[in-house]
Structure 1
Amino acid sequence: MAKKQAEEYLAVLKKRLYIKRLPTSYNILDHSIDNIERMVQKMIAQFKYDLILLEISTNEHIARSHTNMIAYEKKKLTDSAGDQNPLPKSLVSILNAISTRQSNIIKRAELITKHKVSFFDEAPVKPSHIRLSTPIIEVTPFSSFNCIEFLANGPPFIPICQSHFSNVPIDIRIVKERETLVNSFKNGLHVNCVSASDQRANEFFAAIKDLFYQSYTKPLSPELFARARYEQKMIETIKHIRNKHNIIIQRSDKSKVFHLASAISYHDKSVAYMAKTQAYQEIENGINPCKDYFDRILALLKPLLKNKAINLNIWKQSMHPTIETIELPHLYFIPKPHKIGTPLRPIISMIRSPAKGISHFLDLVLRPIFQQATRQTSFINDIHFIRRLELYRNLGLLTPKTNFITFDVTDLYTMIPRNRALVALEQFLKRHAINGRINGMTIDTLIKLSVTVLETNSFVFEGKYYKQIRGGAMGSPFTMTLANISHNELYGRYIDDVFMTSNLSLDKINFMLDVVNNQDENIRITRSIGLNAQFLDVSVYNNQGQLKTTVFHKPSAAPYILPFLFDHPRHIHRSIIKAALLRAVRLCSHVQDFNQERLRIEITLLLNDYPPKFIAYHFKTFFQQNNVALLLEQLDDAIYQGFHQKQISLPTQHERERQQGQPTNSDRTKQSPNQTEQRREQWNSKEIRVHYIYSSGPMSEFKQRLKQLWKNHYVHPGSPLNNVALKIGTRSNKSLQHILVKNKPLKSMLIDINTTNT
């Protein structure tokens, strides 16, 4: 009975979490301090979160203990019969009576629990009780609780039914959407040698047009319309406050929450950053250099392409800049509120830069070579990091005195001098060239292209034009120095973060790092040394020579997962649950830590409006599909270790791409254009991929109805498309990030292409 009471308490508590109505006993925390500021509120909310985690964990432990106790007592009864086979009738009668009684108790308890949980179904949601995922506000005018609560949905949140409030006429939207979809179908039909202009195709395309009209014109339900109208009203209110008070709304670095601050604050910090790094120089004549850069790039590319000095198997026509589409890049900053003083990180948007194509081409050429050369000293992701750690342990190299060292390079991309970067690149290319060439191209050609990318890196910022005059390193002796001091130890880098192990004393480790830190005045590292460390999303512990790893949660991080109300198909939310559990299995080395992370995931899902039944079903499915259904009941570490090792050994996406035979850089060089096209056709002939913009309401049925249209027109006896799979994907409407964040300057600043001599 105690087990069912614990399970009943669990069900009620989870339901309370889902509807944001905590027990009234928690309310005292809201009034424990007078004049509570936002930081203290977050501390209280965090305490509530931890308290909920503790209560759920405790009651799950009680339920689990009683399950084990009942099984143990039944086993004792069975064992009392000794070797008697079959069991005595009297014992069988007792066991049957116990089972019947137990079944009746369970049924009654489940009915009571269901009744108590249903009590909350009609209760209004009170989000003020607990909400850790709140925007970081460093400006005063945002006093509206509703606006703050809406911003708490985060930058990825997509407001529902946007098309019903669009200023674009419905006919124009339908024509555009239909044209995109029909063109995808025409391409797929053409690849499979099926006519895209016969009667069958015309009828199919006409049916698609009708389907769009039916989906776009069907009225929303009253509930959905009310919610959509409310969200649009919140957006307009927030925009009004933003514009009236000159506020910057920006996504936070390394988190999924908004940051709000005054434009003056952003200006002061950005100017201070530019002065500190000395990486940017204002173009004093105030004229856009975009056209000059365009002419310079064409002057470089034309002879190289004409003489086939560039590998045409890698170079694509889309990489060639066109005067109609180029724009000067623009600079903006994103805040880092997890650091003292909320410093800013610079981002240069180069999506339409004149040199974007060359930059992409160099990335395709150099990245595979660099990854191959640094495969022993680079971490692909946190899973790869865990693998390397466990291998280090399995080799017997982890001792009770092994220290973990982590550090990052301050402002890596803007602090390394450009000349040194080019020298390092040239040395790297010479080491890895075959007969003086990389993929059939001379080192001189690649250096010329690299210089052009670096020297045409100008941008717009706050109505002025700037050039970047330093930064952009592609390699550094710094890395080699660190690799040399880590002999027989684990050493690896992820972008500008480094992890290494050492069995030396702390004094010797610090001395060596000081030597490295003083090698170059442009290189400054921030270090951490000890038996515990945090690297990527992993917490690493050396417990007397025993390795322990868990998921690392930044203190400033909110328990955010894409809200259930997010305007996306349900399979997205199913995938989120599966991905979160898989990540927990891979990163947690012990079953108890995994169980705690599983609880964190469940609470976070509840706080982001995932229904308890939806969570329970997909949690159960996850464990059943992985053949570990009893893991949560028993918390058996032996079962978990097998599960963990199996999941950690599965290839990452990068490794799967290589295993699936996607051509490497050298493979592409050997392929002729015909071979490349033939390989593409062979791949495409197996399936036809199309996409449409998903939205809640009538469009939620669009996928099923489109599949039925396809079957009606193209799936029949003798059809050449019977064995071709139709893959229907979705594109999303604009997120709050796109709607509320203003990074891009006026278009006139980006495309003014007067000729200059900068």
Structure 2
Amino acid sequence: MLKLESTDHRLVQQVYDLKPNKQQIRSIRNIWKAIQNKKQMEEQIEILKHRIHSNCLPPAFNLLDYLLDKKLTRSKQSTTDDNDNKQQTILNARRLKKIGRFKYDLLELSIAAAEDKVRYYDKIAKKEEKKLIMITDKLKKQNSSSDTFKQLMAAIEVRQKQMIERADYITQQKMKSFFDKAPTSQDNTMDTDGTIISLSNEQLLIINKGLKFIPPCQSRFFYKEPIEKIIDQEYKWLHTENCKNLTNYTFLTNDTRATNFFSEMKILLQQLHTKPLSKKLKANARYIYEMIKSMQRKLRKANIAVGQTDKSKLFFFIDTQEYEEKITNYMNKTNAYREITSGICPLADDLHLVILLLDHLHERNEITNEQYKQMYPNLKTLELAHIYFNLKVLKPEISVRPIVASINAPARLICSFLDQLLTSMYNYVTKDITFINSIDLIQKLKQYEQKRYLTSTTLFVIFVVTDLYTMIPRDGAISALRRFCNKYSVNGKIGNLKVETIIKLASVVLDTNSFAYKDKYYRQIKGGAMGSPFTMFLANIYMLEWEQKLIQH
């Protein structure tokens, strides 16, 4: 460090020995100051990023936990009932999750602010450099000898490089000082007042990272298959996807370059999967693997269900029995699903209906050959849809939202086709009565004000439709679709499709809404499947018609 300090002093002296004028000195100082500030910001960013990566939050963040823990301790003393304890545990889990997420959001905001400052100081440095060059160029014209000016610019640049080197060295030393000997966090086990699970701080931090967290070296620890099988599976998938891309861009997949590429790709996969891990990486990966396995055992033992919260990337923790009760209550309340009591998988019947309709439309020239191919099911990847439920934690009463995963279902490609065909038309029709985002809302409010629609007596009315996708009657949705298409069609057609053809395609989508859940088969008899691209459009036109009738009255 002393060596760096002495070198810095010497380089500064060399610049001043070249006797720059006052304007040059001012620019030089501004450049150096901007670089110094920039490096300080970069140091802060490096430390903050390392805090996030190493789960080592600033000590000041613990104050929030301490204050909330005191309040919770007081509330716990007054609760002895088991139900109260259970509710308290759920609240504690939510508190930990939200506080943890809040802390990391604060760090990310700090990083973003520091990055803005880095860009700001970088602009200042570049601006002053241009200014210095302009001043120097003017002096060159007045003085024929340019060697002095070249020496000055070189001396300034050398000092800048030394400043960067010095700042990087200081950052490295701080990182070692801050983190290499940082104490490891202790197990933060909840006490018996309402405790269901006990997770360590490290485990809670992994949970707080949500879906962004990726365990390292998964193929070495998490998969039971032989490494050769994993390599072969990954290669086949990459080969298939790349062949699709090459075909789309009219490249031959058996071309010499393509063959060499695939060969090198397989070699690379083998190298990546078989390359020995460093001791540090292996130890860290094994530690995380064992920690995750420990979490799974604890959650399983406590009978806790884990899933993704609705409209967020965070996890929820809930008692499995309570979770199942919420799902059962939802299915009973909506009456949108009917169990297929025969126990026979409906996939074959759904596929038959889809193919039968497409063949019929194709034979009657109601759809083109290209459209037929576009909507025809992919028999290689065909599978029955399945349903899962996310918790809607933002609602006052926590309920569930059903998501039907139907990406490989028989009618999925018809859904995508109808969505592409009709959604753009819907967006155009409703562009004047739809708020795209908050900016659009403000602009439209200004327009209303200019037209004197917006007055002190104007009322804003909001309607919230509960379980919209599963509450729309099937016949009502089809009728609304027919009226919408008839109203905005040209000569009874949308594109090259007749309105009745669109209705037939939409009907088969609704008729084949089948899925599996807990070793049983179900068919959706009301509304559309949430998760299907066509369902949103269908719900939108149904609500559009309802809203227009309401406005008229």
Q: Which has the higher strand share?
A: 1
Alignment pair present for 1:168 and 2:200:
no
CA distance in 2, matches of 1:441, 1:56: 53
Residues 472-511 of structure 1: CA deviation (Å, up to 9, x unaligned) = 3445564356468xxxxxxxxxxxxxxxxxxxxxxxxxxx
Question: Match of 2:151?
Answer: none
Q: Given the alignment of the two structures, is residue 226 of structure 1 paired with residue 278 of structure 2, yes or no?
A: no
Counterpart AA for 1:196: N
- How many angstroms does 1:179 deviate by? 4.6
Provide the rounded CA distance (Å) in 1 between the counterparts of 2:234 and 2:335: 47
Q: Which amino acid aligns with 1:389?
A: I
What is the root-mean-square deviation in Å for CA atoms of aligned residues? 5.0
Structure 1 residues 29 and 296 mapped into 2: Cα distance closer, same or farther (>3 Å)?
A: closer
- What is the SS of the residue equivalent to 1:154? helix
Does residue 329 of structure 2 align to residue 307 of structure 1?
A: no
Q: SS at the partner of 1:315?
A: helix
1:143 aligns with 2:175: no
How far apart, CA to CA, are the structure 1 residues paired with 2:343 and 2:267? Answer: 52
1:256 equivalent in alignment to 2:313? yes
Contact preservation (8 Å) 1:459, 1:467: yes
Describe the shift of the 1:50–1:129 C-alpha distance in structure 2 as closer, same or farther (beyond 3 A). Answer: farther
Unaligned runs of 5+ in 2: 1-33, 74-91, 125-141, 143-155, 189-193, 529-537
Q: Give 2:25's aligned residue.
A: none
C-alpha separation in 2, matches of 1:59 and 1:431: 54
TM-score (norm 2): 0.64
Q: Which residue of 2 aligns with 1:393?
A: 446
State the alpha-carbon separation in 1 of the partners of residues 57 and 462 from structure 2.
40
Q: Which amino acid aligns with 2:178?
A: F
In the alignment, is the contact (CA less than 8 A) between 1:189 and 1:196 conserved in 2? no
| 1:12-61: CA deviation from partner (whole Å, max 9, x where unpaired) | 6983684365665664554444455455657876897899899999999x
One-letter amino acid of the structure 2 residue matched with residue 479 of structure 1: L
Q: Counterpart in 1 of 2:351?
A: 294
Q: Corresponding residue for 1:495?
A: none
Aligned counterpart, 1:77: none
Matches within 5 A, 1:159-308: 159-165=215-221, 166-181=223-238, 184=242, 188=246, 196=254, 206-308=263-365
2:517 to 439, 461, 478: 461
Work out which of the two has the higher radius of gyration on C-alpha atoms and give 1 or 2: 2
Cα distance in 2 for residues equivalent to 1:195 and 1:28 = 60
Cα 1:451/1:318, change in 2 over 3 Å: closer
Structure 1 counterpart SS, 2:482: helix
The one of 400, 403, 407 aligned to 1:344:
400
- Matched to 2:480, the amino acid is A
Letter in 1 for 2:544: T
Q: How big is the shift at 1:196?
A: 3.1
Matched, 1:15 2:44: no
Match of 1:331 among 374, 387, 392: 387
SS in 1 for 2:206: helix
Equivalents in 1 of 2:49, 2:259: separation in Å?
A: 52
Query: Take 2:525 and 2:248, find their aligned partners in 1: how far apart are those partners?
Result: 49
Shift of 1:209: 3.9
Deviation at 1:225, TM superposition (A): 1.4
**CA deviation string 1:588-636 (max 9, x = no partner):** xxxxxxxxxxxxxxxxxxxxxxxxxxxxxxxxxxxxxxxxxxxxxxxxx
**SS in structure 2 at match of 1:172:** helix
Aligned identity (percent) is: 32
Query: Deviation digits for residues 186-244 of structure 1, max 9, x if unmatched?
Result: 9749966779366x776665444434333332211112212222232233333333444
Q: 1:375 corresponds to which residue?
A: 431
1:167/1:407 CA distance change after superposition, 3 Å: same
User: In structure 2, which of residues 544, 547, 551 is the aligned counterpart of residue 479 of structure 1?
Assistant: 544
User: Per-residue displacement from partner, 1:563-609 (whole Å, max 9, x unpaired)?
Assistant: xxxxxxxxxxxxxxxxxxxxxxxxxxxxxxxxxxxxxxxxxxxxxxx
Structural mapping, 1:662-701, within 5 Å: none
Q: Can you give the 5+ residue segments of structure 1 that lack an aligned partner in the other structure?
A: 69-85, 87-99, 131-137, 485-514, 520-758
Q: 1:152 aligned to 2:152? A: no
TM-score, reference length from structure 1: 0.48
Match of 2:533 in 1: none
Q: Hey, what's the Cα distance between the residues in 2 that align with 1:129 and 1:284?
A: 49
Work out whether residues 11 and 117 of structure 1, in 8 Å CA contact, stay in contact via their aligned partners in 2. Answer: no
Alpha-carbon distance, 1:176 to partner:
4.1
Offset at 1:391? 6.2
Q: How many residues align?
A: 443
Cα contact 1:10–1:56 (8 A) shared by 2:
no
Residues 185, 202 of structure 2: 8 Å contact kept: no
Q: After superposition, where does 1:560-579 map in structure 2 within 5 Å?
A: none
1:424 to partner: Cα distance: 0.7
For the 8 Å contact 2:216–2:285, the answer to whether it is kept is: yes
Distance 1:121 1:466, change over 3 A: closer
Distance 2:245 2:112 in 1: 54
Match of 2:471 among 415, 421, 430: 415
* Residue from 409, 422, 437 that aligns with 1:366: 422
Between the two structures, name the one with larger relative contact order (CA 8 Å, sep ≥ 6). Answer: 1
Report the 3-state secondary structure (helix = DSSP H, G, I; strand = E; otherwise coil) of the residue aligned with 2:254: coil
Question: Given residue 123 of structure 1, which amino acid in structure 2 is its aligned partner?
Answer: K
Task: Check conservation: 1:325, 1:352, Cα contact below 8 A.
Answer: yes
After superposition, the Cα gap between the structure-2 partners of 1:124 and 1:59, relative to the gap in structure 1 and judged at 3 Å, is same
Residues 384 and 406, structure 2, Cα contact 8 Å, conserved in 1:
yes
CA 1:312–1:244 in 2, change beyond 3 Å: closer, same or farther?
A: farther
Write the distance in 1 (CA, Å) between the matches of 2:326 and 2:346: 26
Please state if 1:124 is matched with 2:182. Answer: yes
Counterparts in 2 of 1:236 and 1:392: CA distance versus 1, 3 Å? same
Compute the displacement of 1:335 (Å): 0.5
Aligned counterpart, 1:676:
none
- Matched residue of 1:151: which SS? helix
- Alpha-carbon distance change, 14 to 331 in structure 1, aligned in 2, over 3 angstroms: same
Cα shift readout 1:688-717 (whole Å, capped 9, x = no counterpart): xxxxxxxxxxxxxxxxxxxxxxxxxxxxxx
Deviation, 1:261, is 1.4
Q: Shift of the alpha carbon at 1:426?
A: 0.5
| Inter-CA distance 353–142: structure 2 relative to 1 (3 Å threshold) | farther
User: Quick check: 2:415–2:509 contact (8 Å CA) kept in 1?
Assistant: yes
Would the alpha carbon gap of residues 146 and 396 (structure 1) be closer, same or farther in structure 2, given more than 3 Å must change?
Answer: same
Distance 1:159 1:262 in 2: 25
Flag the 1:436–1:147 CA change in 2: closer, same or farther, 3 A: same
Matching of residues 418-433 of structure 1 within 5 Å: 418-433=474-489
Do the aligned partners of 2:199 and 2:295 also contact (CA within 8 Å) in 1? no
In structure 1, distance between residues paired with 2:417 and 2:114: 57
What is the CA–CA distance in structure 2 between the aligned matches of 1:417 and 1:347, rounded to whole Å?
18
Q: Give the distance between the partners of 2:546 and 2:244, measured in 1 at CA.
A: 56
Equivalent residue runs for 1:523-602 within 5 Å = none
Indicate how the Cα distance of structure 1 residues 309 and 226 shifts in structure 2: closer, same or farther if over 3 A, else same: same
